[in-house]
Amino acid sequence: AWERPCAWCVSLSRLEDLELAPLGDSDVHVKMLAAPINPADINMIQGTYALLPELPAVGGNEGVGQVLGVGRRVTSVTPGDWVLPADAGLGTWRTEAVFPEQSLLQVPRDVPVLCAATLGVNPCTAYRMLTDFESLRPGDSVIQNAANSGVGQAVIQIARATGIRTINVVRDRPDLPKLVERLVSLGADHVITEEMLRKPDMKDIFKSIPKPRLALNCVGGKSATEMLRHLQPRGTMVTYGGMAKQPVTVPVSAFIFKDVKLRGFWMTQWKKDQMHNKDALQSMMQSLCELVRKGQLGAPACTEVPLEDYRAALEASMKPFTSSKQILIL
């Protein structure tokens, strides 16, 4: 099931030399430094994502670049600055580009390059979901599936930095002890498999921490249903992905007797909603960069791949049980 979409996706991509666009008065010439391959990037290539560019298009929605030159009306960045895409669809899998000033966001150069390259999507998603849906306080708990994903790793670290406990659900796998050790090293309080969600042993976890008021769902299907059962009354489950490609099924009792709330989150839409208010986006980025400086937020497990080896990176990013994010070094 993984081979066909993998081969098809790779066959749709190719490396080409493109002519650099002229630098306009409000444009910025950027040398890309590093750009990750995210699931949304793959979905865009496959044509299954909610945001699709006009073809032919350059892949990649995230990454970090260095400013080489600016147009005469540009005021927000200067040559030498590091920048991130302010929105999705910019096309970051390239060595150089000319972008409009408004499509870029400055990031401090003291942030490690792999942190900067992976800062604009997964940590932002984690930050917003932990902030916007429930008023969590130190000592509260959150439960999440796909805890080994980029978002999951960011949730663990941001939650730990703010005193929030995490219950982290992963699929069973051959290297499970190694994965558990890594997530615990990031600050995970509990790491369990999806099978454990359905067992009475869950009661032991809630002897030491309160039941969660927030559940973060990136999987769907049974994983989401079982995770929902452990929510506090009037708790919230936020769905931001559907890795199982199965619908979220909710018992009627959860609505009637627990009054749970089901919400959705898409980082791209949040950024679009904030385009008139870049202060909110800048403030979030500053908060995340401060966590990086304090050593409380790091890049996810990464594999650095030269751009010319992009085919191998695409294939690796679509393999099951992948815990290392492929980063194109540009």
Domain ranges (residues) in the chain: 7-120+300-329, 122-267
164 within 8 A of 144, measured Cβ to Cβ? no
CA 289, CA 105: separation in Å to the nearest integer?
13
Active site residues: 49
pLDDT value at residue 3: 38
Region 20-32 average pLDDT = 97
pLDDT value at residue 9: 62
What is the bridge-based pairing of β-strands 64-70 and 27-36?
Answer: antiparallel
Region 201-218 average pLDDT = 95
pLDDT value at residue 87: 85
Q: Distances in Å between the alpha carbon of 186 and those of 53, 127, 159, 179, 181?
A: 36, 16, 10, 11, 9
pLDDT value at residue 278: 77
Second-level CATH architecture of 122-267: 3-Layer(aba) Sandwich (3.40)
Extract the runs of DSSP E, i.e. beta strands, from the chain.
Answer: 27-36, 64-70, 82-85, 96-100, 104-107, 141-144, 165-170, 190-193, 214-217, 236-239, 261-264, 302-306, 325-329
**Can you read off the two tokens belonging to residue 41?**
């990037």
* Residues 224-266: tens digit of each pLDDT: 999 999 999 999 999 999 999 899 999 999 999 999 999 999 9
CATH number of 7-120+300-329: 3.90.180.10
pLDDT value at residue 107: 95
What pTM value is reported for the model? 0.92
What is the residue-averaged pLDDT of the chain? 93
**Can you read off the two tokens belonging to residue 110?**
């003291």
CA 160, CA 144: separation in Å to the nearest integer?
14
The alpha carbon torsion through 122, 126, 131, 133 (nearest 10 deg) reads 110
Q: Distances in Å between the alpha carbon of 214 and those of 46, 192, 197, 209, 236?
A: 32, 17, 16, 13, 5
* Residues 271-312: tens digit of each pLDDT: 988 877 778 888 999 999 999 999 999 999 899 999 999 999
Closest CA to 106 of 78, 75, 84: 84
**Can you read off the two tokens belonging to residue 321?**
């049980």
- Over 80: is that where the pLDDT of 6 sits? no
pLDDT value at residue 2: 35
Closest CA to 35 of 99, 102, 121: 121
